[in-house]
Amino acid sequence: MKWENFTKLESYKKLASAKTPDIKAELDGEKGALRVQAYQVPMASGMVYNYAAKAVDDQLIDLLQELADEAQLQEKYEALYNGEVINTGEKRLVLHQLTRGQLGEDVVVDGVNKRQFYKEQQDRANAFANKVHSGRIVNEKGEKFTTAVQIGIGGSDLGPRALYLSLESWAKVQGTLKMEAKFISNVDPDDASAVLRSVDLEHALFVLVSKSGTTLETLTNEAFCKDALAKAGLDPSRHMVAVTSATSPLANNPDYLDSFYIDDYIGGRYSAMSAVGGVILALAFGPEVFARIQAGAAAEDEACKEKDVRKNASMLDALIGVYERNFLGMGVTAVLPYSQALSRFPAHLQQLDMESNGKSVNRFGEPIDYKTGPVIFGEPGTNGQHSFYQLLHQGTDIIPLQFVGFRSSQMANDVLIENSTSQQKLCANVAAQIVAFACGKDDENRNKYFAGGRPSSIIVGDQLTPEALGTLLAYFENKVMFQGFVWNINSFDQEGVQLGKVLAKRVLAKDTDGALAQYSELLGI
């Protein structure tokens, strides 16, 4: 397998001199209608990726196929799921796909079959959740727990939280919301205080999540919660489980009701389908719903094995993103779900993408001379339309857009106003936005003129079900992975977060001088 810098590839040179089609012209008239039908790739869970409003044509896609082949994207994906040391910086395997399926060979480390290990941990989590739901695990008074509170930060917070919020309303309507879930993440004491105030402590079960067992924020918030439990006359060890690595101080510790294990081969931002998300989500929705999320993710992982870019949505999306980033100079991507349930999904993708691909060295630690991951931001539509879309339509930079939409609502509660339901209005708006961004509008009044040519793609599904959610999650994980392969970077470490931690410790130890001492004083420390 060849790991080469992007700019060394033959296909890089070809792409650099390729002609970028004019989206407005491509989408015009009958030809445009045919293009919308044709520029579409099926995903798992019955979803589709449509890229008709992207600045690509058949010729350019052929070049992206050449890039995919030359950069050996599929061979690298295969190497990853078969257990090669893809995380070169930390010298680790990258196995998050094994939490939800078996894509290739058995991966055995120190005699342990990792697929079986992840599955066993989830089986244990499921058994635990079932006991909590059935009242076999109860509080001091023998009463059922009603709320689960996750304590974690970064990947131990954003992914599980986004998934929970994505299905909370759906589960209520389906009658499968077993427990309400809450999340504490920030070291700001007001975060823990506010959540604790909103919870019936006596019936609250805490899920402490820290792979290393040493995360400052998480241990601090654990102490915060234990303090609150003790003050309420409750026994903290009867209200808390741990999700951690088998070698951490939190493992097999009598301070917890039980411990569930993860390992070093799953990075925080890729861990939502491991016990990091699996314990809280099995508690909240029941094991069956969590298994459906996993199934949707596994099916998309399978779909991502396809070598033909025209049949592999995640890989094609990744390649178009690279084209926009490195040849069209676009440094930001907006993720715009037309689904209120996905309100925190952009925050998860922000971590997933920016922490994975915000790098300036290649996988061998050598500086590179081309752009890597973009800034990711987003809010649900139609809300964003009444906010930052002004800049997206008429600002001086072009921002590529990633829409997500569903034909049906989750709660099936709707009203007919002026001959359309709210769901129809929602869908009409996203269809309209794609065309408005792509085609613009001429106007003699330049203030009402829209240049168009603003690229977007859309992922469409029937409804945001557990399967669709799992598919979305895996789709983006794989997109980020494919882009990392093209850029020849390591998408699985995060050295950039270390320096701040070191300096913060110095501040707390009063071991500062110069500017840092002054800033500490300014902040009252």
147 in contact with its own copies (CB under 8 A)? no
In the residue annotation, 133 being an active-site residue is answered as no
On whether the CB atoms of residues 242 and 225 are closer than 8 A, the answer is no
Out of 12, 51, 118, 224, point to the residue binding its own copies (CB under 8 A): 224
Closest approach, Cβ 137 to its own copies, in A, equals 27
* Angle, vertex CA 423, rays to CA 419 and CA 429, nearest 5: 90
Residues 15-44 that bind its own copies (CB under 8 A): 27-30, 32-33, 35-37
Tell me the closest approach of the beta carbon of residue 269 to its own copies, in angstroms.
Answer: 8
Can you tell me the distance from the alpha carbon of 224 to that of 204, in angstroms, rounded to the nearest whole number?
14
Asked if 237 interacts with its own copies (CB under 8 A), we say no
- Which stretch, 6-14, 103-111, 236-244, 517-525, contacts its own copies (CB under 8 A)? 517-525
Residues in the chain, overall count: 525
Tokens 């990947």 sit on residue: 155
Pick out residues in 368-427 that bind its own copies (CB under 8 A). 368, 370-373, 375-377, 379-383, 385-397, 399, 405, 407-411, 413-415, 417-427
Asked if 199 is part of the footprint of its own copies (rule: CB under 8 A), the reply reads no
CA 321 to centroid of chain Cα atoms: 16
Nearer to its own copies, 301 or 467 (CB): 467
Choose between 104 and 236: whose C-beta lies nearer to its own copies.
Answer: 236
461-490 residues near its own copies, rule: CB under 8 A:
462, 490
For residue 64, give the nearest of 355, 55, 336 by alpha carbon: 55
DSSP state at residue 390: H
Residues 6+ apart with CB under 8 A from 220: 187
Distance between CA atoms of residues 151 and 157, nearest Å: 8
User: Do the Cβ atoms of 11 and 323 come closer than 8 Å?
Assistant: no
Amino acid at site 372: T
Measured from the CB atom, is 135 or 365 closer to its own copies? 365
Other beta carbons within 10 Å of 202: 16
Nearest to 279 by CA among 290, 269, 270: 290
Q: Catalytic: which of 141, 231, 386, 510? A: 386
Would residue 355 show up in a list of annotated catalytic residues for this protein?
yes
Query: Interface with its own copies includes 85 (CB under 8 A)?
Result: no
Q: Taking CB under 8 A as the criterion, which residues in 347-376 touch its own copies?
A: 347, 350-351, 354-361, 365-368, 370-373, 375-376
> Should residue 231 be labelled a site residue for its own copies when binding is judged by CB under 8 A?
no
The answer to whether 5 contacts its own copies (rule: CB under 8 A) is no
**Part of the chain binding its own copies (CB under 8 A), chosen from 94-102, 280-288, 299-307, 494-502:** 494-502
Near its own copies in 100-139, by CB under 8 A: none
**222 with 165: CB under 8 angstroms?**
no
Cα separations (Å) of 217 from 94, 108, 185, 198, 221? 25, 33, 7, 20, 6
Q: Which of residues 49-68 bind its own copies (CB under 8 A)?
A: 50, 52-53
501 is catalytic: yes
Contact (CB, 8 A) for 491 and 477: no
Query: Which position among 8, 13, 131, 172 is part of the footprint of its own copies (CB under 8 A)?
Result: 172
Catalytic positions are 355, 386, 501
